[in-house]
Structure 1
Amino acid sequence: MARDTTDNTPLENYDQLVHALSDGCKPKDEWRIGTEHEKFAYYRSDFSPVPYEGDRGIKALLEGMQAKTGWEPIVDAGNIIGLVAHDGMGAISLEPGGQFELSGAPLETIHETCRESNKHLRQVQEVADELGMGFLGLGGSPKWTFAETPQMPKSRYDIMRAYMPKVGTQGLDMMHRTCTIQVNLDFGSEDDMRRKMQVSTKLQAVASALFANSPFTDGKPNGLLSWRSDIWRDTDNQRAGLHEFVLEPDFGFAKYVDWALSCPMYFISRDGVYRDCTHITFQQFLDGALEGEVPNEGDWQNHISTLFPDVRLKKFIEMRGADGGPWRRICALPAFWVGLLYDDAALDEAEALCADLDYDAVRAMREAVPAKGLAAPAGKRTVLDVAKDAMAIAHRGLNARNRLNQSGVNETHFLGPLDEVVALKETQAERLLKQFRSNWDSDIDHIFEEYGY
């Protein structure tokens, strides 16, 4: 989840809200790639979760990372809850259950993104080894019950924990027991934003199937391939999930603002103190519902950062459909979406690929993917059929970009893990289930031994 923003500029008119999005428009040569990934921390000795406190807790891990990176600490009520690079280009943060997240810098190529991720994982492993910790890249916590999962001391999360059970059945699991990989991408104009938002909204369930990697809960199979995707089906449906207005022909910055205004808030922050605002929408806040409080730019930025649609719009576009995974998949997600969206011809092809997927078809696909994965229907086709075509387009898009590393290799090789999924017609979740039922002898601890890092 995003770092909270402080900007005390008063909100005086509607245009400021729209400009907070439209100011993201950039010429193509300034488009960047920002990749985020989360991972579960555990103790290698017994595969138990890592609490915040203690000599070998998450706090100690953050302090060790601070010493190694020199990044500035982020402090909430006296507790270190994250780190930020001195130039603001990158941050480490904590999810509610202790999931450890890197929010990467906006970079020009996927080669740079992969080097950034590798550097982070190397650093965090060095610190974690001294603390007896390991990390697991997976979409959902495979072993620990909700009661066994630690809770991080972060003020905004206290507000969310109280609110989530009021608006859905799976919000607390979303907060504490899921991990994701996300990529943030740029747009050049309102029309370019519209096309990218609509293509990626239609294909987000395809990405969810390609990255399905959360088939276990409480130590046993949960009957799903992507438990994480299923959780998002009933978390907080007013602010999360699939929204039909995004697919309308006249979708633009103002329509997104109008929807965001209608959503309940989580909080405002004043002098480091968080005030619960879940009882009002942002529109009501603007209309004076909080006596003595003047809405400001920071409040708006924080609000749109706490909306959870499948594809989120800020000054960039966030792809939110993928389960967490091992390090190769951290690089595969930006490769998939950059290949589809950053080359003009590829975007044209991607748009044509999903042209016949209307809102009802996209919703049906989204509902079916958690259990059926690649076999889920996608209009008159299957998700696997669409995934094959999408992967071919992504390859062409990355070839056209022709961004080479020092060895003269372009970015297409980062699609390798997804090429395997399509070729074998089998998700990572299905492979894990086969292992669980055969050589693991139904013992979930093997997942830490074989997939931890």
Structure 2
Amino acid sequence: MSIPSAVESTPIESRQQLADYLAAGEKPREAWRIGTEHEKFGFRTDDLRPPTYEGERGIRALLEGLASRYGWEIAREGETPVALTRGKANITLEPAGQLELSGAPVENIHQTCCEVNTHLDEVRSVADGLGLGFLGMGFQPKWRRDEMPWMPKGRYKIMREYMPKVGNLGLDMMTRTCTVQVNLDFSSEADMVKKFRASLALQPVATALFADSPFTDGKPNGFLSYRSQVWTDTDPHRTGMLDFVFQDGFGYERYVDYILGVPMYFSYQDGRYIDLAGQDFRRFLDGRLEAVPGTRATMKDWADHLTTAFPEVRLKQYLEMRGADGGPWNRLCALPALWVGLLYDDEALDAAWDLVKDFTMEERHALRDGVPRQALKLPFRRGSVGDLAAETLKIAAHGLKRRARLNRNGADESIFLQPMIEIVEAKQTPAERKLELFHGPWNGSIDPLFREFAY
């Protein structure tokens, strides 16, 4: 989840300002950067329970330990520490204390992977002293929803009360899911549209490759990416495949129309969240919300509102790839490698679009609906999603090789695709590997997972 926007509180005088805000993200190719975000579950190493916010072994103690030891600055909500900043990177809290690194914009995947490794080393060094561990998966494998703690953030209080009104699994999304995503730039509206369409159509492939959430409440749940399934029953107004993206005329203004139709959660004013859950942002533009009479939305409100839609690919002043389960450190480097290889090389982007441009709306939805349960084994046309994933990885690898961003050993960024190549070749997702262990060496217990797969 995002921290409050720092965008200047400029009054919104016209609808064009909203589209112009998105267009302001355009950058020349030499300025394109890679921003990787990942979330992870904390657990107490003695009883495996998620840590609460307060207490000697709590999330607050972890944040303060990271700040004092590694130079992070504490961001507060009122007097309460809720995030850390260092340069252009942030560490934030998800609703149940899942720890998120929002990495700084970097030039290549080698830098991304270095950043991830440094972060995990720092977290581990502080967490070890608190008796805490961290796990990368898509869904909390052991603890029930009512056993998850809640972090003291105003935004989450509003969402917690609103979510059950619009879906059955919204609280699970908030408290029991983790993801890895990458944020990528575009040079123009046409470039944004092409990247949005190709990545949205291929997002189910990423979901299948990264499928790693087969357990709920300590037992198999019948899915390989239950995290992905959770999004289908969270809030229909702000999730999904966005069919309009593939229609003629799609661009910034059409995305503005979509976001204006997303019900509000809040407005952040004077250091506090005002509950506007379910309200119409259009009425806010006109100063017609009863909860804040006479108050008109600002550009800061618009920037915040953009963060409250949760489609498979999200547009802000960059594009966010949102379809993957959280996972171990090497897959935290693999996801940006996949999408950079596909989207940051013109030949690869053309090839990716050629791969998906004749997908029908029904096929796109069948992929989205089917991969949470079947992942790579989902039938598609004359083959399977596994076949589609193999072709996608080939395109990405060629794109990364052409980028030719080399590390000190002369290796290009395609080395980071290797975990996904191995998944496709083995025809076994991370979720299927864990199920194999659960039914075999783990003897039907979920507890060994926390030891064997912790960071």
Secondary structure of the structure 2 residue equivalent to 1:320 = strand
- Structure 2 CA distance, aligned partners of 1:183 and 1:279? 29
Asked if the contact 1:364–1:377 (Cα under 8 Å) also holds between the matched residues in 2, the reply is no
Aligned to 2:4: 4
Aligned to 1:282: 281
- Structure 2 CA distance, aligned partners of 1:362 and 1:69? 45
Give 1:241 deviation, angstroms: 1.5
Secondary structure of the structure 2 residue equivalent to 1:364 = helix
- Structure 2 CA distance, aligned partners of 1:202 and 1:404? 29
- Structure 1 CA distance, aligned partners of 2:296 and 2:165? 27
Give 1:147 deviation, angstroms: 1.1
- Structure 2 CA distance, aligned partners of 1:312 and 1:114? 23
Give 1:249 deviation, angstroms: 2.5
1:80 aligns with 2:45: no
Aligned to 2:61: 60
Give 1:391 deviation, angstroms: 0.5
Question: In structure 1, what residue type is equivalent to 2:239?
Answer: A
Residues 281-325 of structure 1: CA deviation (Å, up to 9, x unaligned)? 211211222212121111000000111011000110000000000
Give 1:248 deviation, angstroms: 1.1
* Worse-superposed segment, 376-385 or 325-334: 376-385
Among 349, 352, 369, the alignment partner of 1:350 is: 352
* Worse-superposed segment, 63-72 or 126-135: 63-72
Secondary structure of the structure 2 residue equivalent to 1:45 = coil
TM-score (norm 1): 0.98
> Structure 1 residues 285 and 377 mapped into 2: Cα distance closer, same or farther (>3 Å)?
farther
- Structure 2 CA distance, aligned partners of 1:243 and 1:167? 18
Question: In structure 2, what residue type is equivalent to 1:422?
Answer: V
1:106 aligns with 2:105: yes
Aligned to 1:36: 37
Secondary structure of the structure 2 residue equivalent to 1:147 = helix
- Structure 2 CA distance, aligned partners of 1:296 and 1:71? 30
Give 1:77 deviation, angstroms: 3.2
Aligned to 1:442: 444
* Worse-superposed segment, 336-345 or 235-244: 235-244
- Structure 1 CA distance, aligned partners of 2:39 and 2:9? 30
1:393 aligns with 2:395: yes
Residues 12-38 of structure 1: CA deviation (Å, up to 9, x unaligned)? 111210111001111111110000000
Aligned to 2:162: 163
Aligned to 1:237: 236
1:427 aligns with 2:429: yes
TM-score (norm 2): 0.98
- Structure 2 CA distance, aligned partners of 1:439 and 1:120? 31
- Structure 2 CA distance, aligned partners of 1:345 and 1:22? 24
Give 1:158 deviation, angstroms: 0.3
* Worse-superposed segment, 389-398 or 270-279: 270-279
Residues 351-378 of structure 1: CA deviation (Å, up to 9, x unaligned)? 0011221221111111011111111233
Aligned to 1:210: 209
- Structure 2 CA distance, aligned partners of 1:99 and 1:241? 23
- Structure 1 CA distance, aligned partners of 2:363 and 2:420? 23
Secondary structure of the structure 1 residue equivalent to 2:183 = strand
- Structure 2 CA distance, aligned partners of 1:313 and 1:281? 20
Give 1:199 deviation, angstroms: 0.4
Question: In structure 2, what residue type is equivalent to 1:141?
Answer: Q
Aligned to 2:405: 403
Question: In structure 2, what residue type is equivalent to 1:31?
Answer: W
Aligned to 1:273: 272
- Structure 2 CA distance, aligned partners of 1:380 and 1:281? 45
Residues 389-432 of structure 1: CA deviation (Å, up to 9, x unaligned)? 00000010000000001111100110011001110111000000
Question: In structure 2, what residue type is equivalent to 1:220?
Answer: K
- Structure 2 CA distance, aligned partners of 1:175 and 1:401? 37
Asked if the contact 1:44–1:134 (Cα under 8 Å) also holds between the matched residues in 2, the reply is yes
Secondary structure of the structure 2 residue equivalent to 1:61 = helix
Aligned to 1:129: 128
1:144 aligns with 2:146: no
Aligned to 1:373: 375
- Structure 1 CA distance, aligned partners of 2:205 and 2:381? 12
* Worse-superposed segment, 246-255 or 434-443: 246-255
Asked if the contact 2:288–2:294 (Cα under 8 Å) also holds between the matched residues in 1, the reply is no
Residues 116-147 of structure 1: CA deviation (Å, up to 9, x unaligned)? 00000000100001100000000000001111
Aligned to 1:178: 177
Aligned to 2:325: 323
Among 311, 326, 342, the alignment partner of 1:340 is: 342
Give 1:167 deviation, angstroms: 0.7
> Structure 1 residues 416 and 405 mapped into 2: Cα distance closer, same or farther (>3 Å)?
same
Asked if the contact 1:357–1:378 (Cα under 8 Å) also holds between the matched residues in 2, the reply is no
Question: In structure 1, what residue type is equivalent to 2:193?
Answer: R
* Worse-superposed segment, 376-385 or 359-368: 376-385
Asked if the contact 2:182–2:336 (Cα under 8 Å) also holds between the matched residues in 1, the reply is yes
Aligned to 1:95: 94
* Worse-superposed segment, 43-52 or 391-400: 43-52
Give 1:379 deviation, angstroms: 4.5
Question: In structure 2, what residue type is equivalent to 1:98?
Answer: G
Asked if the contact 1:182–1:320 (Cα under 8 Å) also holds between the matched residues in 2, the reply is yes
Asked if the contact 2:338–2:417 (Cα under 8 Å) also holds between the matched residues in 1, the reply is yes
Asked if the contact 1:280–1:289 (Cα under 8 Å) also holds between the matched residues in 2, the reply is no
Unaligned runs of 5+ in 2: none
Secondary structure of the structure 1 residue equivalent to 2:147 = coil
Question: In structure 1, what residue type is equivalent to 2:50?
Answer: P
- Structure 1 CA distance, aligned partners of 2:411 and 2:113? 14
Aligned to 2:306: 304
Asked if the contact 1:36–1:182 (Cα under 8 Å) also holds between the matched residues in 2, the reply is yes
Aligned to 1:451: 453
Secondary structure of the structure 1 residue equivalent to 2:358 = coil
Aligned to 2:254: 255
- Structure 2 CA distance, aligned partners of 1:315 and 1:68? 33
- Structure 1 CA distance, aligned partners of 2:67 and 2:17? 36
- Structure 2 CA distance, aligned partners of 1:13 and 1:380? 49
Provide the aligned length of Structure 1 versus Structure 2.
451
Asked if the contact 1:180–1:324 (Cα under 8 Å) also holds between the matched residues in 2, the reply is yes
Question: In structure 2, what residue type is equivalent to 1:173?
Answer: D
Aligned to 1:24: 25
Give 1:443 deviation, angstroms: 0.8
Asked if the contact 1:265–1:303 (Cα under 8 Å) also holds between the matched residues in 2, the reply is yes
Question: In structure 2, what residue type is equivalent to 1:35?
Answer: T
Secondary structure of the structure 1 residue equivalent to 2:145 = coil
- Structure 1 CA distance, aligned partners of 2:276 and 2:105? 31
User: Identity, % of aligned pairs?
Assistant: 53
Asked if the contact 2:286–2:296 (Cα under 8 Å) also holds between the matched residues in 1, the reply is no
- Structure 2 CA distance, aligned partners of 1:255 and 1:382? 33
